[in-house]
Amino acid sequence: MKTKVFIDGHEGTTGLRIHERLSTRQDIELVPIADDVRKDPDAIRACMKQADIAFLCLPDGAAAEAVTLAEGCDVRLIDTSTGRRVAPGWTYGFPELSPQQAEAIAKSDRVGNPGCHASGAISILQPLTAAGIVPADYPVTAFSLTGYSGGGKKMIAQYEGDKSQDLYAPRQYGLVQQHKHLPEIVTICHLTQEPVFTPIVDDYYSGMEVMIPFFSQLLAKKVTAQDVWQVLASHYDGCPFIHVLPFGEDKGGFIAANDMSGYDDMEILVTGNDQRIMVTSLFDNLGKGASGAAIQNMNLMMGIDPTTGLNLKY
């Protein structure tokens, strides 16, 4: 029997990518909603009632309303918005945290899909805090380059519309250090303080590069860059979605932020030297940063190979 899936917000950037990935699958039946009623609460609730699994690909306010609409329906939710990722009753949708996390997602009826920048930061920090290398009170700084699709339809229209404005150099944002992904990074990595986080949006469609530098003298153990690489390589060994590139790999000295655009998996590189170590996570903000991760979680919830229907580089 096919799994019935409803995509609330299928006209948006994240929803469209999920729709594209699922529309050719033989094991999935998409629950349609007519365009003129796609924001109508009664129509949405009717779709929720029919579906086994629903993706919420909506702005935060609309997603909160959709969660309420789903109450009493026998539907499992995967929410790509920010509000409930670390809320009680919700499972954080990053299966690579641990085998237990993957199991928890597989059984969950309420999965909060990670934020895009957060996915990169957590992919680097969580194995290193868990291994006791990065102490909980480490003064973490993180930089993140993102394609403009990260800002959804509005930002895509801005970048692809009027090119006469001088808007298209890389732009730093999140200037007051209250980016909405900080709470999940702190909670999931068990940090005692928020990182200094610098997101930068640039004039390319999709792709994300999250960079976290470490001073080895401030780490909890005496480690070399290769030790850090080893911890990450062991943590992600055999993982189909996260690939730690061989130690010393530097992509010819230039790491392009859109190198993983179009793919649903992630690369991690360790560069620098034994005093100043840089760890970089490279992925598509719409892939492992949003739609790809959401489908990976759905596959786990269905009890099938998590890579089904996804576009992996490796």
Ligand X SMILES: NC(=O)C1=CN([C@@H]2O[C@H](COP(=O)(O)OP(=O)(O)OC[C@H]3O[C@@H](n4cnc5c(N)ncnc54)[C@H](OP(=O)(O)O)[C@@H]3O)[C@@H](O)[C@H]2O)C=CC1
Active site residues: 116
Torsion over CA: 223, 229, 230, 235 (sign): positive
Q: Which does 201 bind (CB under 5 to 8 A by kind): ligand X, ligand X2W, none?
A: ligand X2W
User: Beta strand 276-283 with 110-112: parallel, antiparallel or unpaired?
Assistant: unpaired
Q: How far is the CB of 14 from ligand X (least distance, A)?
A: 3
Site string for ligand X2W, 226-265 (x = CB under 6 A): ----------------------------------------
151 binds ligand X2W (CB under 6 A): yes
**Candidate residues 51, 69, 201, 293; the one interacting with ligand X2W per rule CB under 6 A:** 201
Q: Which does 58 bind (CB under 5 to 8 A by kind): ligand X, ligand X2W, none?
A: ligand X
Torsion over CA: 81, 85, 91, 94 (sign): positive
Q: How far is the CB of 105 from ligand X2W (least distance, A)?
A: 17
Find the binding residues for ligand X2W in span 110-129 (CB under 6 A).
Answer: 115-117
C-alpha to C-alpha distance for 111 and 190, rounded to whole angstroms: 20
Q: Which does 13 bind (CB under 5 to 8 A by kind): ligand X2W, ligand X, none?
A: ligand X
Q: How far is the CB of 293 from ligand X (least distance, A)?
A: 8
Q: Which of 132, 113, 119 has the alpha carbon at shortest distance from 185?
A: 119
Residue 194: CB atoms within 10 Å: 14
Residue nearest to ligand X2W (CB): 150
**Candidate residues 77, 81, 112, 287; the one interacting with ligand X2W per rule CB under 6 A:** 81
180 binds ligand X2W (CB under 6 A): yes
- Positions touching ligand X (CB under 6 A) are 8-9, 11-15, 38-39, 57-60, 62-63, 80-82, 115-116, 149-150, 152-153, 285-286, 289-290
82 binds ligand X2W (CB under 6 A): yes
271 binds ligand X2W (CB under 6 A): no
158 binds ligand X2W (CB under 6 A): no
Q: Which residues bind ligand X2W (CB under 6 A)?
A: 81-82, 115-117, 146, 150-151, 155, 180-181, 199, 201
